[in-house]
Amino acid sequence: MAVIGWIGLGHMGGPMTANLVKAGHSVRGFDLNAEALDAAVAAGVTRATSIQDAVDGTDVVFTMLPKGEHARAVYFGEAGVFAHADPKTLLVESSTIDIESSQALHDAAKAAGFRLVDAPVSGGITGAEAGTLTFMIGGEADAVADATTYIQPMAAHIIPTGGATTGQAAKICNNLMLFINLAATSEGAVLADRLGLDPQVFWDIASVSSGDSWALRTWYPVAGVVPSAAVNRDFSPTFTAELANKDIGLAIAAAEATDTPLEIGKHVAELFQRLVDQGQGGKDCSMIVKLVDGTLA
């Protein structure tokens, strides 16, 4: 079994490390949030007091962080991963971040003699808890193959995507489609209600018809229809509106950099920005249904 360093023990990192511990790995974790670190320790993770402590003597280091700026801060600088990990340690960057930051990490890793893969995930908190995430892995073939062996206890699907940053590219495009689907699901649900359809009956139809999507099956924004949906818990987040706003913003930025028009994506981004502007950034992203039904302006 491996010695694994882990930095970032939030909503995703916490349950992901718990599954590594269950698989028999020794996991040393660090997070600036004391509550998140305590929860991980309770699940069997060994407490690290710093990045240096987390990476010292490890076979592989995973990072799971909110934004590109956080990933850069963790890897670069005198206190960072590059300064303190052994170059033989495999680095697995699983945050969802911008392409520019991902490329910067790959370039710096190569210059310092490290192997690094970008390996973002899809599946949300429920997938992290169940160990059924999809990993999209970009990087050199040998590093991707080695990363796969460590990832297995956390994943149902592990898909090599190509060279550096292609994992991030896949995740950005996937999430763009997810949020467009969520917006369409919200509009369809509200319209179906106003046309007199029973919510369960309409969902039963849509989930086996051409309107089906992961968002409909998992996040359907009408109470009492899909047990996993945040609407049943006053939009307590499985994926916050703030993070959704960040992720779709990554797609908009990538589109601008590649001269790709995203007319629908830009509209959905505006919806998430409206939620954030109204102080709802900490609620679940499926709360955009409240913009559709007029509960929020």
Q: What is the CATH number of the domain that holds 188?
A: 1.10.1040.10
CA distance 169 to 174: 9
Question: What is the number of structural domains in the chain?
Answer: 2
Q: Are residues 136 and 221 in the same domain?
A: no
What is the residue range of 197's domain? Answer: 170-293
CB 137 within 8 Å of CB 158:
yes
| CATH number assigned to the domain comprising residue 117 | 3.40.50.720
Three-state DSSP at 194 gives helix
Q: Are residues 156 and 175 in the same domain?
A: no
Q: What is the pLDDT of residue 287?
A: 98
Q: What is the pLDDT of residue 126?
A: 86
Q: Identify any residues that bridge with 93 across adjacent strands, giving them in sequence order.
A: 63, 118
Contacts of 156 (CB under 8 A, 6+ apart): 123, 127, 131, 132, 133, 134
Global pTM value: 0.93
CB 12 within 8 Å of CB 69:
no
DSSP 256: H
Q: Write down which residue in 143, 163, 183 finishes a domain.
A: 163
Expressed in angstroms, the distance from the first to the final Cα of the chain is 53
Q: Are residues 98 and 206 in the same domain?
A: no
Q: Are residues 17 and 34 in the same domain?
A: yes
Q: Are residues 13 and 125 in the same domain?
A: yes
Q: Are residues 254 and 223 in the same domain?
A: yes
CB 292 within 8 Å of CB 275:
no
Q: What is the pLDDT of residue 82?
A: 98
CB 222 within 8 Å of CB 199:
yes
Q: What is the pLDDT of residue 93?
A: 98
Look up 171 and say whether it is catalytic.
Answer: yes
Tokens of 37: 């670190």
Tokens of 130: 């169940």
CA distance 144 to 118: 9
Q: Are residues 248 and 198 in the same domain?
A: yes
User: Residue with structure tokens 């409909």?
Assistant: 216
Task: Choose among 96, 79, 91: nearest CA to 11.
Answer: 96
Q: Are residues 254 and 157 in the same domain?
A: no
Q: Where are the beta strands (DSSP E) in 119-196?
A: 121-122, 133-138, 155-162
Q: Write down which residue in 101, 128, 163 finishes a domain.
A: 163
Q: Are residues 285 and 262 in the same domain?
A: yes
Q: Write down which residue in 117, 140, 163 finishes a domain.
A: 163
CA distance 143 to 194: 53
For residue 219, what are the CA distances in angstroms to 156, 173, 222, 223? 20, 19, 9, 10
Q: What is the pLDDT of residue 60?
A: 98
For residue 250, what are the CA distances in angstroms to 161, 169, 172, 176? 18, 10, 7, 9
Task: Choose among 162, 146, 121: nearest CA to 15.
Answer: 121
Q: Are residues 184 and 138 in the same domain?
A: no
CA distance 35 to 37: 5
Q: Are residues 159 and 13 in the same domain?
A: yes
Which residue among 171, 246, 283, 290 is the active-site one? Answer: 171
Q: Are residues 145 and 182 in the same domain?
A: no
CA distance 3 to 48: 13
The per-residue pLDDT string of the chain (297 residues; one tens digit each, 9 = 90 and over) reads 999 999 999 999 999 999 999 999 999 999 999 999 999 999 999 999 999 999 999 999 999 999 999 999 999 999 999 999 999 999 999 999 999 999 999 999 999 999 999 999 999 888 999 999 999 999 999 999 999 999 999 999 999 999 999 999 999 999 999 999 999 999 999 999 999 999 999 999 999 999 999 999 999 999 999 999 999 999 999 899 999 999 999 999 999 999 999 999 999 999 999 999 999 999 999 999 999 999 998
Q: What is the pLDDT of residue 140?
A: 98
